[in-house]
Amino acid sequence: MTRPEIRPFRPDDVPAAGRLLAARHAAHRTVEPLLAARFEDPAVAAAEVEAVLAAGGSGAVAVEGDEVTGYLLGQSKPGKAWGPNAWVEAAGQAVSQAETVRDLYAAAGQEWVQQDLSAHYVLVPAHDSALVDAWFRLGFGLQHVHGICEVPDQPSTPPAHLTIRAARREDIPVLAELDLALPAHQATAPTWSAGEVPTLEEAVADWEESFDDEGWGYLVAEQDRRVVGAAVGCALEESSTHKSLTLPDHAGFLGFAAVLPEARGLGAGRALGEATFDWMRDNGFTSAVTDWRATNLLSSRTWPRLGYRPSFLRLHRHLGY
């Protein structure tokens, strides 16, 4: 089979890339209709591609005859936690045939490697098994999952041994402790995340500063009048991770949830997750979004049980090993 011609992405490729991206999103919405319909418009999709290019994105296009049949754009993100990185985010790829992405990565990735960018990340629609497989065959593995679901119509009922309530200022010391509990858990097997853990003093100061911010739902779980867990809800627009095509309309965000190690197994995480649905419904949100590390044994089991369906997968490859 003849492979397409691969060449560098040019600014005049944006309209064709937009058409491909709009078609990809339309196919995604047949499986996950909660995603925003506006990105099915090629002009709207092209604006997302243009934004990636304007932010320093670089990559490649596949051409067959006079037709662009695929593109790949990546850009580097600041932050030492990600390593010397290149990211292909939600608007960064679309192909007519999944196999084409392998040729595109061979070309675009070469440029990123020449810039000493050795940690590569890509966000892939979760429903597209052929595209996920193509990336797997490029040496990528599953790192992170974006989940989406409807906000339930009915209020939740926590188990009798737990009380779920709104956080109060006097809870800040334990809220700060829980801020440390999540990254500490992520640093253990089998996730082994290298994310930074703040000091307790930093976490307390952050809570003191932000506690009264409007538009945020701070919830805690109590057992025997002792706070053992917490969760945070907000509008999805507050998230720095969920942008562009990953941003549904009228979506609330489960942005944080943690339970103290000694209280795990009591059902507090599930009860807090359900309580954030209540907060979202009370605040007019009709869909809910969260995300989790695929290797986090707790969240990767709890959130799907609450109804969150994978919408996008973050895949990762660290070169040279």
pLDDT for the residue 260: 97
Q: Are 212 and 172 in contact (CB under 8 A)?
A: no
Whether 321 shows a pLDDT value over 90: the answer reads no
> Of 29-33, 130-134, 183-187, 227-231, where does mean pLDDT reach its minimum?
183-187
Coil, strand or helix at 54: helix
- C-alpha span between 84 and 29 (Å, rounded): 33
Q: In what order do the strands lie in the sheet with 226-235?
A: 85-88, 119-125, 309-318, 141-150, 287-293, 251-259, 226-235, 217-223, 163-166
Q: Per residue in 189-218, pLDDT tens?
A: 999 988 778 899 999 999 999 999 999 999
Residue 213, phi then psi, degrees to nearest 5: -60, 135
If you average pLDDT over residues 73-95, what whole number do you get?
92
Which band of pLDDT confidence, cut at 50, 70 and 90, is reported for residue 1? low
Whether 80 shows a pLDDT value over 80: the answer reads no
If you average pLDDT over residues 124-137, what whole number do you get?
98
Q: What is the number of alpha carbons within 13 Å of residue 178 lying toward its C-beta?
A: 26
pLDDT for the residue 231: 98
**Whole-Å CA distances, 222 to 18, 203, 273:** 49, 20, 14
Strand 58-64 with 5-8, pairing: antiparallel
pLDDT for the residue 311: 98
- 117 versus 80: the higher-pLDDT residue is 117
If you average pLDDT over residues 222-230, what whole number do you get?
97
Q: Are 42 and 19 in contact (CB under 8 A)?
A: yes
pLDDT for the residue 69: 98
Whether 136 shows a pLDDT value over 70: the answer reads yes
If you average pLDDT over residues 55-78, what whole number do you get?
96
Q: Per residue in 262-288, pLDDT tens?
A: 999 999 999 999 999 999 999 999 999
Domains within the chain, CATH numbers bracketed: 5-139 (3.40.630.30), 150-290+302-307 (3.40.630.30)
Placement of tokens 């490697």 in the chain: 113
Which band of pLDDT confidence, cut at 50, 70 and 90, is reported for residue 166? very high
- C-alpha span between 1 and 64 (Å, rounded): 12
Q: Are 61 and 71 in contact (CB under 8 A)?
A: yes
pLDDT for the residue 79: 76
If you average pLDDT over residues 110-137, what whole number do you get?
97
Q: What percent of the chain has pLDDT over 90?
A: 94
Residues making up the chain, counted from first to last: 321
Which residues in 92-111 are b (16+ Cβ under 10 Å) and which e? bbbbbebbbbebbbebbbee
Question: Which pairs from 164-169 meet CB under 8 Å and 24+ separation?
Answer: 164/219, 164/220, 164/221, 164/222, 164/271, 164/272, 164/275, 165/219, 165/220, 165/222, 166/217, 166/218, 166/219, 166/220, 167/211, 167/218, 167/219, 167/220, 167/230, 169/211
Residues near 31 by beta carbon (within 8 Å), at least 6 away in sequence: 127
Averaged confidence pLDDT in the chain: 96
Q: If phi over 0 gives left and psi between -120 and 50 gives alpha, with beta otherwise, what is residue 215?
A: left
If you average pLDDT over residues 4-18, what whole number do you get?
97
SS (H, E, C) 188-201: CCCCCCCCCCCCHH
**Beta-bridge partner residues of 60:** 8, 72
